[in-house]
Amino acid sequence: MQQKNKYARIQEFLNQNNFPNFRMNQITNAIFQGRINNFTDITVLPKILRELLIKEFGESILTIEALKVQHSEQVTKVLFEISGDEKIETVNMKYKAGWESFCISSQCGCNFGCKFCATGDIGLKRNLTSDEITDQILYFLLKGHSIDSVSFMGMGEALANVQIFDALNVLTNPELFALSPRRLSISTIGIIPSIKRLTQNYPQVNLTFSLHSPFNDQRSKLMPINDRYPLLDVMDTLDEHIRLTSRKVYIAYVLLAGVNDSIEHAKEIVNLLKSRYKKGNLYHVNIIRYNPTFSSPMRFDEVGENRVENFYKELKAAGINVTIRSQFGIDIDAACGQLYGNYQKTINE
């Protein structure tokens, strides 16, 4: 059963106890404008209400606790503890232009078993609640950060967790985070029913599809989900998304040395995308360098820069929209697809 987010529960609590409607506005203003983290400090509320809120919801607004913070140039990674003594990771990236981006987790672990992904090595502990998802952003907001963009590209498969849709409601609610859907991005390995739901309910949210091989058989070996939702079926769903939303779809492609980095792979990506809606003009490929320094079910070698450049040039020359993604936070295992909660190590520290 889907649990209501804490903002809805606070509103219900106020209604049940016959407090006037403006009290909810005072609470949300204190959190999101005043950046207050404790009910005790919302002094605009009468003391009796603050005491009732603490008794019902606890002292802190946050439902997660920061256990460990790591910094590198432009990147901060936070290890959070969630209920059940489990842990998740969140990454904050600061760009030189002043823009702040956040990569958040949607599951504790993941059970889809992609061969190159560190999180898949953990297995799925559980789905995160809507509060646990949005509190990763609230933690940074309360510390004075500017929330410029949010990517659901941390631990877990976002579209496998139904709570993601309530989290989107909270993040875009003008009374709460008030984020534009266009500042939100969701990455998926191809969960077709949830892609369709996203298209219908959140057409302006940016969508990224993790491809990693244009060959159906090879993709199944790298990403077992491909047996359940085959590549061409996913591409048909993405075409429908583009037709209905007129929005670009991003294609994530992690280069694995000697596995999916050949010119033949590049040519097949061209064939795949050029056969799609509007000849693939609304697809954009992001090439991502694999970082071999983290735990994953299989080990791969790092791709040489010449291979990266040649792959890029093959796509570019064919008219494919393509970018080579910069890797942030490699030195603290915070790069794309590389968040990994090292639970035993954390317990022993």
Partner residues linked to 283 by β-bridges: 249
- Domain co-membership, 280 together with 212: yes
- Domain co-membership, 235 together with 260: yes
Mind listing the pLDDT tens digit for each residue in 187-221?
999 999 999 999 999 999 999 999 999 999 999 99
Surface-to-core class of residue 114, CB atoms within 10 Å of its CB (0-12 exposed, 13-18 middle, 19+ buried): buried
Q: Sorting pLDDT into bands at 50, 70 and 90, what band is 303?
A: confident
- Domain co-membership, 208 together with 334: yes
- Domain total in the chain: 2
Question: On the CB side of 35, how many CA atoms lie within 13 Å of its CA?
Answer: 10
Provide the whole-model pTM.
Answer: 0.91
Q: Above 60 in pLDDT, residue 297?
A: no
Looking at residue 347, its pLDDT comes to 36
In what side-by-side order are the strands of the sheet with 86-94?
65-72, 75-82, 86-94, 100-103, 149-152, 184-188, 206-210, 249-255, 283-289, 321-324
Residue ending a domain, among 57, 77, 96, is: 57
- Domain co-membership, 117 together with 213: yes
- Domain co-membership, 20 together with 140: no
For residue 305, indicate whether it is catalytic: no
Looking at residue 56, its pLDDT comes to 96
Mind listing the pLDDT tens digit for each residue in 145-187?
999 999 999 899 999 999 999 999 999 999 999 999 999 999 9
For residue 336, indicate whether it is catalytic: yes
The backbone torsions φ and ψ at residue 233, rounded to the nearest 5 degrees and listed phi first, read -65, -40
Are 184 and 149 in contact, with CB atoms under 8 Å apart? Answer: yes
Give the residue from 109, 114, 138, 137 showing the smallest Cα distance to 125.
Answer: 109
Mind listing the pLDDT tens digit for each residue in 245-274?
999 999 999 999 999 999 999 999 999 999
Looking at residue 291, its pLDDT comes to 74
The backbone torsions φ and ψ at residue 93, rounded to the nearest 5 degrees and listed phi first, read -115, 125
Q: Above 70 in pLDDT, residue 72?
A: yes
Residue 157 lies in a domain: yes
Q: What is the CATH number of the domain that holds 230?
A: 3.20.20.70
> What separation, in Å, do the N-terminal and C-terminal C-alpha atoms of the chain show?
36
- Domain co-membership, 245 together with 99: yes
Q: CA torsion sign, 60 to 61 to 63 to 68?
A: negative
Looking at residue 121, its pLDDT comes to 67
DSSP string, 264-309: HHHHHHHHHHHTSGGGGTTEEEEEEE--TTS--SS--PPPPHHHHH
Q: Above 60 in pLDDT, residue 1?
A: no
Residue 301 lies in a domain: yes
Residue 25 lies in a domain: yes
Mean pLDDT of the chain: 90
- Domain co-membership, 152 together with 175: yes
- Domain co-membership, 219 together with 272: yes
- Domain co-membership, 24 together with 103: no
What is the C-alpha to C-alpha distance for residues 156 and 250, in angstroms, rounded to an integer?
18
Instruction: Report the pLDDT averaged over residues 48-76.
Output: 93
How many CB atoms are located within 10 Å of the residue 307 CB? Answer: 17
Which residue among 89, 132, 157, 314 is the active-site one? 89
- Domain co-membership, 242 together with 124: yes
Residue 242 lies in a domain: yes
Which residue among 108, 110, 114, 336 is the active-site one? 336
- Domain co-membership, 40 together with 72: no
State which residues form the domain around 344: 65-348
Q: Sorting pLDDT into bands at 50, 70 and 90, what band is 112?
A: confident
Q: What is the CATH number of the domain that holds 12?
A: 1.10.150.530
Are 216 and 226 in contact, with CB atoms under 8 Å apart? Answer: yes
Residue 1 lies in a domain: no
- Domain co-membership, 218 together with 138: yes
Residue 298 lies in a domain: yes
Would strands 283-289 and 249-255 be described as parallel, antiparallel, or unpaired? parallel
Question: On the CB side of 203, how many CA atoms lie within 13 Å of its CA?
Answer: 9
Residue 243 lies in a domain: yes
Residue 222 lies in a domain: yes
